[in-house]
Amino acid sequence: MENKAQTTQAQDGGPGAAESQRPDAKRAKALLDVPAQIAKLKSKGVTFDLCSEQEAAAYLADRTYFFKLYAYRTLFERRVGGPRDGQYVGLDFGHLKLLASLDRTLRYALLPMTLDVEHFARVKLVREVTEREGEDGYSVVSDHLAALNHKQRNRRTGEVGALSEDAYCGALVEKYTLPDDMPLWVYLELVSFGSFISIYLFCAERWGDRAMREEYFQLRQSKAARNAFAHSSNVINGFANAASAVDTNASVMRALAEAGISHRVRSAKMRNPRLQQIATLLYLHSQIVPEGTSRSRAQADIARLETEMRTVLAALPENDAIRSSFGFLMTLFDKWF
């Protein structure tokens, strides 16, 4: 028999038994089973015209979980006042499914692009060291580590040392030692994206290379996006927010203007941290990745993403948050890819 507390005390939540079964529980949200999740959606004004309740229940049970899917409600307006106060306007369960599918397509299209920019930035750094007079490939690593504070230096050496038993990199750790006997091209095989970005900035300042310094800031944004995509974080649900604490890189802002984005639109969209990161990634990829298989794959992935975006736009023509954000991104796709 269904636990009464599960249905009477439930708020937003995920599948499972109600937490109120534990007398000492002090949590704001109770867990909901699938029927309670459907009831929760209906209470919030979500309709089931494009997707039946039975289909929705199967989807929530086998394909995703309530918390992740319900997050896309933030893109829809809510009613104010009246008997339906607080309910979402024009939101069907089928719309949530479309947005979840599109979000997955977006992550799968953009994640490889973050790997591309990391790879080709590493290629560029090795090339610069190889071609610059006075660089031997070793001193740049030892000098970089010497410039770090004690905590940062220990973090870098610990990161490398932890790979001593790694099936892929262990032999390199055994053969080369930090800080004086490891060349840059080996160091780059062992460190994380974040540690790579750190030495990229060190080299930019060491050589007085303004373009590399610009790329450093772009790489930081690409890394933030990569982390979200790799961990399957929802992305699209945050497109209506405007709360970025990071200024958009000047080169990216100039490129947006050259792409025909008005000052009003680019200022508004770059206040959104997710759109800011995606735009920066798209720009950096267009600049640092040469013609070849990586660029061709990215173009094909972007084409599929744009096609699915148009499908969602056709299903939600009245949603301003979705229409304006997707329109902004599709302009960048067309101009840069």
- Which of the listed residues 46, 72, 97 is the one where a domain comes to its end? 97
Question: 244 pLDDT band (50/70/90 cuts)?
Answer: confident
Residue 24 has a pLDDT of: 52
The pTM score is 0.89
pLDDT tens-digit map of 59-95 = 999 999 999 999 999 999 999 888 888 899 999 999 9
- Rounded CA gap, 140 and 155, in Å? 18
- Rounded-to-5 percentages of helix, strand, coil across the chain: 65, 0, 30
Per cent of the chain over pLDDT 90 is: 85
Total of domains in the chain: 2
Distance CA 269, CA 215 (A): 21
pLDDT, tens digit, 9 for 90 and up, residues 293-333: 999 999 999 999 999 999 999 999 889 999 999 999 999 99
**Domain that residue 326 falls in:** 98-336
- Examine the pLDDT at 11 and tell me if it is beyond 60: no
Same domain, 282 and 298: yes
Do 229 and 188 share a structural domain? yes
Q: What is the pLDDT of residue 29?
A: 76
Burial of residue 8, with CB atoms counted within 10 A of its CB: 0-12 exposed, 13-18 middle, 19 or more buried: exposed
| Residues β-bridged to residue 78 | 88
Same domain as 173, residue 37 = no
- CA dihedral 83→87→92→93, nearest 10 degrees, is -120
Judgement on whether residues 46 and 129 belong to the same structural domain of the protein:
no
170 lies in the same domain as 70: no
Closest CA to 201 of 246, 147, 158: 147
The three-class DSSP label of residue 205 is: helix
Q: Which of 97, 120, 153 is the last residue of a domain?
A: 97
pLDDT exceeds cutoff 90 at 149: yes
Residues 166-174, mean pLDDT to the nearest whole number: 96
Domain edge (last residue) among 66, 97, 128? 97
pLDDT at 1: 37
Percent of the chain with pLDDT over 70: 92
The reply to whether 204 and 221 lie within a common domain is yes
Claim to verify: residue 27 and residue 104 sit in the same structural domain: no
| Residue 31 CA neighbour count, 13 Å, CB half | 13
